[in-house]
Amino acid sequence: MARTKVSVIQMTSVPDVATNLGACERLVRDAAEDGSRLVVVPECFAFLGPEEGKLGIAEPLPAGGPILARCAGWARELGIELILGGFWETGSDAGHVRNACVQVRADGSIGSIYRKIHLFDVDLPDGTKLLESGTVEPGSEVVTAETPAGTLGLSVCYDVRFPELYRKLVDRGAVALAIPAAFTLTTGKDHWHVLLRARAIESQSYVLAAAQTGHHFGQRRSYGHALICDPWGTVLAECGEGEGVASAWIDPDVALRIRQSLPSLHHRRL
């Protein structure tokens, strides 16, 4: 695959879908105008608010609804591929949704769909209590997507703490890993960079980590620092404070050369 410019989006989603989609479109357009052919948007990009809110805006996949249609329109108009991290998909009953990572091709068609496997149920020292499993059904399938930047392994946020998932993605041909997230401020400041660089180094793959940032509602705050990391663990681009776009060139041949010179993936014994 050819060397390709990619972008990750950093935004502050709130409980209002229209506001979120307006901000997301602006940032996606910025990335496309800068030459990116693949753009990753963060988890919860269309809605980040009280639990009951996502139940009301969830859409079936791959058919979609107004949210997916609008995103597909951006892809077609701009001629780019989108990875929609944390798309709220209709669940098996009225009380549940799925947290899906969706590939939208440049012609607006839907490609691969990954449903988040590992759900975020925590009680953090700062008082943050989240029970994702209360309203979200876990997925079970490991999923890759064929993109202009090569084979991309799909994941969402809390998945980053489970390296065995990324081993499976690499075994299926991934040279880059999408990790769209809404990482909490408390965990992000200590773990975000460490985890992302570790996944890149051990998987010898690029990491494309779109992120939520700032204050969303109530006590919910996200760490931000959307970034792109190369297969050696070097951060190529990173967002600062507030909403923005981080872009970098990625080259699948670089990942292959690193894997050949330091063949740790072939040295596995377990």
Question: For every one of its 270 residues, what pLDDT tens digit does the chain have, with 9 covering 90 and above?
Answer: 689 999 999 999 999 999 999 999 999 999 999 999 999 999 999 999 988 899 999 999 999 999 999 999 999 999 999 999 999 999 999 999 999 999 999 999 999 999 999 998 888 776 677 788 889 999 999 999 999 999 999 999 999 999 999 999 999 999 999 999 999 999 999 999 999 999 999 999 999 999 999 999 998 899 999 999 999 999 999 998 899 999 999 999 999 999 999 999 999 998
- The per-residue pLDDT for 241 is 86
- The per-residue pLDDT for 40 is 98
- The per-residue pLDDT for 9 is 98
CA distance 226 to 210: 5
CA distance 124 to 4: 39
What string of DSSP letters covers the chain? Answer: ---EEEEEEEE---S-HHHHHHHHHHHHHHHHHTT-SEEEE-TTSS--S-HHHHHHH-B-TTT--HHHHHHHHHHHHHT-EEEEEEEEEE-SSTT-EEEEEEEE-TTS-EEEEEE--S--EEE-TTS-EEEGGGTEE------EEEETTEEEEE--GGGGG-HHHHHHHHHTT-SEEE--B--BHHHHHHHHHHHHHHHHHHHTSEEEE-EEEEEEETTEEEE---EEE-TTS-EEEE--SSSEEEEEEE-HHHHHHHHHHS-GGGS---
- The per-residue pLDDT for 178 is 98
Residue type, 192: W
- The per-residue pLDDT for 127 is 67
- The per-residue pLDDT for 201 is 98
**Can you give the residue ranges of every domain in the chain?**
4-266
pTM (two decimals): 0.95
Phi, psi (degrees; rounded to nearest 5) at 256: -65, -40
Q: Which two tokens stand for residue 42?
A: 């963060």
- The per-residue pLDDT for 124 is 75
- The per-residue pLDDT for 95 is 92
Please state which CATH number belongs to domain 4-266.
3.60.110.10
Catalytic residues: 43, 116, 157
Q: Which two tokens stand for residue 216?
A: 């969303």
